[in-house]
Amino acid sequence: MLNVPLLVGIVLSCGLAFFAQEFVCATTESGSMTEDEASSLGEEFGIVVGPVDEEIQRELKLQRPQGVAVFEVIGNSRADDAGIKVRSVVKEIDKQEIRNMADFGRALKKAMTGCNFTVGTYEPAEPGEPVSWGVNFHFVGCKRD
């Protein structure tokens, strides 16, 4: 018989996968990812990124210093084709929340194994435009020659 409190703990702590009455933690949150690895993946995608610090948080009026800041967009890249902008903050990739560089690296690595995915960003308003609250979604398609 299953121990219900134990089952609830497993579900809450690690994402549940059930097979042949065995519980296995999903690997979406696990797996190490260094900032350097995440940065390299960002460049492969077409953006130079770094963690959101307190200065960026103040400039973009973010509630928390979370996400990944875009410092440069590499021309003629998948990121450029998708319309990702300098000074934006990556907040999600393919519905995966991005809180830090490790989240960014893991989500981007997974997304780039496929062809199409989405990137959600906060972008600064242009001078004279009202500040918009919400995420801008960018469709990233296959890179074709």
Pick the CATH number of 35-140 from 3.30.1280.10, 3.30.70.580, 3.90.1150.10, 2.30.42.10: 2.30.42.10
Q: What is the DSSP letter of 70?
A: E
pLDDT at 56: 85
Residue 6 has pLDDT above 50, yes or no: no
Residue 23 has pLDDT above 50, yes or no: no
CA dist 42 and 119 (Å) reads 12
Domain boundaries, the chain: 1-30, 35-140
Residue 65 has pLDDT above 50, yes or no: yes
Which residue would you say has higher pLDDT here, 24 or 31?
31
* Residue 145, amino acid: D
The string of pLDDT tens digits covering residues 86-134 is 989 999 999 999 999 999 999 999 999 988 999 999 986 666 565 555 6
Whole-angstrom distance between the N-terminal and C-terminal Cα of the chain? 57
Beta partners for residue 68, in sequence order: 51, 90
